[in-house]
A and B are shown apart, each in its own frame.
Chain A
Amino acid sequence: SYSGDESVASHFALVTAYEDIKKRLKETEKENSSLKRRVRILEEKLLGSRLEE
């Protein structure tokens, strides 16, 4: 009989979901920091061009 396996199955399914969401979080954080860097560069560029005027 498979009784008792259901909690193991539900745990396995949750781990599968958790691992993937964790991976996505990492990717999103990486993208976020690269976007922040880009904003900073653009801000400096903009500030520089204003100072030249």
Chain B
Amino acid sequence: SEEPPTSTVFIDNCHFSQVIFINMEKFYVPGGDITCYYTLTENIIPRGKDWVGIFRVGWKTTREYYTFMWAPLPGDSHRDTTVQQQIQFKACYLPQDDEYYQFCYVDQDGMVRGASVPFQFRVETED
């Protein structure tokens, strides 16, 4: 039987998963500060101008960040081992709507190294 035309070009997902966002919430309380937790895998060498942005889901270029924070450099211990980091985003810089957003880690060359699951700024309705 005839096979459909395909291509061996594949998206190297590992490249985009060098930073893993952890302890993600589905909802963050509007008007509150939020803490972003992530793990730097051993595959990434973090640099001084790396940053973490909050992006609306469906973004096309990294210039579309809603807000950002510089990513703190880990201590000397980060070498051939994973290290956990955290960044606090102040409430006044956060979106006010209930759109879906995600964190993305962007390195100083503008390359995305990790993206989180989405979250919203609203109170979780639990009846």
Q: Mark A1-31, 1 if CB is under 8 A from B, else 0.
A: 0100111111111101100110010000000
> Quick check: B111 and A16 within 8 Å, CB to CB?
no
Could you tell me the distance between the alpha carbons of A36 and B109 in the complex, rounded to whole angstroms? 51
Q: List 16 A-B contacts (CB under 8 A).
A: A6-B61, A8-B11, A9-B62, A9-B115, A10-B61, A12-B16, A13-B55, A16-B117, A17-B58, A17-B100, A17-B102, A17-B118, A20-B117, A21-B100, A21-B118, A24-B26
A residues within 8 A CB of B111? 2, 5, 9
Q: How far is the CB of A47 from chain B (nearest CB, A)?
A: 23
| Residues of A in contact with B (beta carbons under 8 Å apart) | 2, 5-14, 16-17, 20-21, 24
A residues within 8 A CB of B116? 16
> Quick check: B57 and A14 within 8 Å, CB to CB?
yes
**If the complex has contacts A11-B11, A17-B57, are A2 and B117 also in contact, measured as CB distance less than 8 A?**
no
| Residues of B in contact with A (beta carbons under 8 Å apart) | 11, 13, 16, 26, 55, 57-62, 100, 102, 104, 109-112, 115-118
Q: How far is the CB of B1 from chain A (nearest CB, A)?
A: 30
> Quick check: B104 and A13 within 8 Å, CB to CB?
yes
Chain A at the B interface: SS class: helix
- A8 closest partner in B (C-beta): B11
> Quick check: B102 and A13 within 8 Å, CB to CB?
yes
B residues within 8 A CB of A7? 60
Could you tell me the distance between the alpha carbons of A20 and B21 in the complex, rounded to whole angstroms? 13
